[in-house]
Amino acid sequence: MVRIDIISVLPKLIESPFNASIIKRAIEKKIVEIHFHDLKDYANKRRKQVDDYQFGGGSGMVMMIEPIKKCIDNLKNQRDYKEVIYMTPDAEILNQKIANKLSIKGNLIILCGHYKGVDQRVRDNLVTMEISIGDYVLSGGELPAAVLCDSIIRLIPGVLGNETSALTDSFQDGILAPPVYTRPANFENINVPQILLSGDKAKIDKWREEKAIERTKKIRPNFFN
């Protein structure tokens, strides 16, 4: 079983995506285990402080190294972790390749930032990997952590009922997925492509491949570079 530990100042913010659909089922099937840790539980007992002003001045609070170190040490003392990942906008952007790699790694710790982010010494000394979910800034690392977990968990063998379904998703083989249709075949005179109703598997496969390539050329031409 893979274990993912998420460290945050607002763990409440991410609990709900893990309580539904595919991720919930993966947890119930005991394929993955997710634990949330409130950094405040590792703060200085008297002051409960997890952030402080920046050295050198400037607006915005910075998350302190001490509670983060305590929390990570506590986890590492109990079991082995393959990566300690910090969610941050100034990092390599998450893609399917990274998700694939992480899905077969083993236990992970994910650190969510808030405010101005974490003290640089956390990044230099405690974190083994940094991931962004895109070139925009969010208020906290909780939603990015949920995005990362979802992208990883659905790839862990046994999570998706039909093993082939992750393989036919976009990016998995370097192209976007073809369009999909369901009933009714005719909706207010908008029809499903006839070929999908033909029952000719070889033709349908060829059509799907053509459509996938066409779509990729149009939307993501850089995939062919």
Binding site for ligand SAH (CB under 6 A): 87-90, 112-114, 116-117, 132-134, 136-138, 140-141, 144
Q: Burial-class residue 153 by CB neighbours within 10 Å (0-12, 13-18, 19+).
A: buried
Report residue 49 as tokens. Answer: 């402080």
> Least CB distance from residue 49 to ligand SAH, whole Å?
17
Give the closest residue to 85 by CA, choosing from 52, 118, 53, 63.
Answer: 118
> Least CB distance from residue 117 to ligand SAH, whole Å?
4
Main-chain dihedrals φ then ψ at residue 212, nearest 5 degrees? -65, -45
The closest residue (CB) to ligand SAH is 113
Q: Which residue number, 150 or 214, has a Cβ lying nearer to ligand SAH?
A: 150
> Least CB distance from residue 90 to ligand SAH, whole Å?
5
Q: CB count, 10 Å around CB of 105? A: 13
Q: Which residue number, 75 or 119, has a Cβ lying nearer to ligand SAH?
A: 119
Q: Which residue number, 12 or 203, has a Cβ lying nearer to ligand SAH?
A: 12
> Least CB distance from residue 61 to ligand SAH, whole Å?
10
Report residue 104 as tokens. Answer: 């077969």
Q: Which residue number, 118 or 160, has a Cβ lying nearer to ligand SAH?
A: 118
Q: Find tokens 């659909």 and name the residue.
A: 21
Find the length of the chain.
225
